[in-house]
Amino acid sequence: MDAKLDNLSEISKLLSVKSKMSSDILSLFSKFGFGRLLCRLSLEKHDGISAVQQILSLCLFRINGETIHSIYKKNFYHLLTTGKNCYYRMMVRQAMNWRRLLSYTVLRFECILRKNGIQTESENSCVIFDDTTLEKTGRKFEHITKVFDHVRMNYVLGYKLLLCLFFDGKSSLPFDFSIHEELGKKGDGGLGKKALRSRFSKRRMKESPAYERNQECGMSKMDSAIRMLQRMWKRGIHPHYALADSWFACEKFIEEIRRVGNGAIHYIGLAKMGKTKYFVENKRHNAAELVAMYARRTKCCRKYKCQYIELRGCLGNIPVRIYLIKYGRRQTWNIMLSTDLSMSFVRAFELYQIRWNIEVVNKETKGHLGLGSYMGRDFDGQIADATLCYITYIVMSLEKRMSEYETMGELFADMEDDVMALTLWHRVLNCIERLLAALCDVLGFSVSEIGQLIVTDSAMRNNFEIMVQALEDRQQEKLTTVNIF
């Protein structure tokens, strides 16, 4: 199967026929049984209207690319019998436990698969953490500040959303999230003291779920990530690995991950080539010093066109396996850590590429489901908007899982590789392998740069496709010439 660079999508194909998806999602929603959860939480009605009806309607609006305002302006084919204000009030309802609703959706997703005889346990299951920017245009939003956008490499007005994603071996499911402000060293969020005081604010009942989410806004993202993982484990979802980028790689974070489930979760992630000291063979050295000292132990990985040094050591008191990696003709090295001391380099490398799934989820939820587009000032509305976006994504993922990722029984057992669609992880791996083989030696791209570009930049992805095709054609011409002579 070809590793096509334009195939890194999970839901765009489903959304291409919106009328069909809108009708399908009605039957899909019924399988999740949201009414039972809302009844247990005593939230089954709001303003005299069924809460399930409101949630379903808000998800349908989202699939059709409409807001509450625009859908009422068009009168939604004369099907709406309630006023639009009930939806706005639903979005800012303090008693609504949006976190419980999202985690319940993930649990029901796995339950539905098991009821249909589909295997949900996987040795590749993992939890992934990453943050993304929710850009806004007004300065009156509650908790609005300037935040650093790693894509633009500049500060923008908005929020930081930290997503906790569960990968069950095939599907990527948003389990939990938190939205953060960044006040900075001066404490004014880059807005100035006057603008900071003029932001919208409201009082919340301390016993309400909205109060907890509001307090969480000023929390450290690392502390929030650990709490989300603890909630995941408590709810009965037990991943084998935790994946994160280099920003999270520190002794405290890894140590807290290892404590969850008494060491049942192993950490895999990149780290920074900085001043952090690693204890290797009774001496402490930073990453650059390790490269200089153990250069003779360099090995080659033909599959991914890179060189690597494999060491055992400790980060603080945590035993880790250290992989120092260099791609193609680049002179710079990267460092990857794993707490699984028996893991081979190829296995660690391939597992870490699952992390790109969260980049795809962020891109598609923003591009197709309107993540971050809510323009209400109330912070509770921002939480509700993101939750509804992720619930819609999970419900659509069930359609994707049932229709493409699972085979039709033993009849097709011999043709499974051809009939069953490759999961997103395998599509990413195939693309990276193809790009590294063609571009690494010539242009010296690293896997991090390639992964970021093919997931987030469609124009660069098309350029890569052209370059790779040209290089592959050139290589084929050389082989043909050699065979002739």
The answer for residues whose C-beta is within 8 angstroms of residue 276's C-beta and 6 or more apart is 250, 286, 287, 315
Quote the pLDDT of residue 475. Answer: 64
Quote the pLDDT of residue 294. Answer: 96
pTM, full prediction: 0.84
Tokens of 49: 């209207």
* Nearest C-alpha neighbor of 68 from the set 95, 88, 40, 94: 88
Quote the pLDDT of residue 256. Answer: 97
What does the pLDDT look like over 174-222, one tens digit per residue? 999 999 999 998 999 999 999 999 999 999 999 999 999 999 999 999 9
Quote the pLDDT of residue 110. Answer: 94
Q: pLDDT class for 402, splitting at 50, 70, 90? A: confident
pLDDT at 318 over 80: yes
| Residue in the structure block whose two tokens are 């043709």 | 415
Quote the pLDDT of residue 12. Answer: 59
Phi, psi of 431 (to 5 degrees): -65, -45
User: Burial level of 147, CB count in 10 A (0-12/13-18/19+)?
Assistant: buried
The answer for residues whose C-beta is within 8 angstroms of residue 136's C-beta and 6 or more apart is 144, 157, 158, 159, 372, 375
Give dist(CA 365, CA 354) in Å, integer. 18
Q: pLDDT class for 290, splitting at 50, 70, 90? A: very high
What does the pLDDT look like over 112-166, one tens digit per residue? 999 988 888 889 999 999 999 999 999 999 999 999 998 888 999 999 999 999 9
Phi, psi of 242 (to 5 degrees): -120, 130
Quote the pLDDT of residue 87. Answer: 86
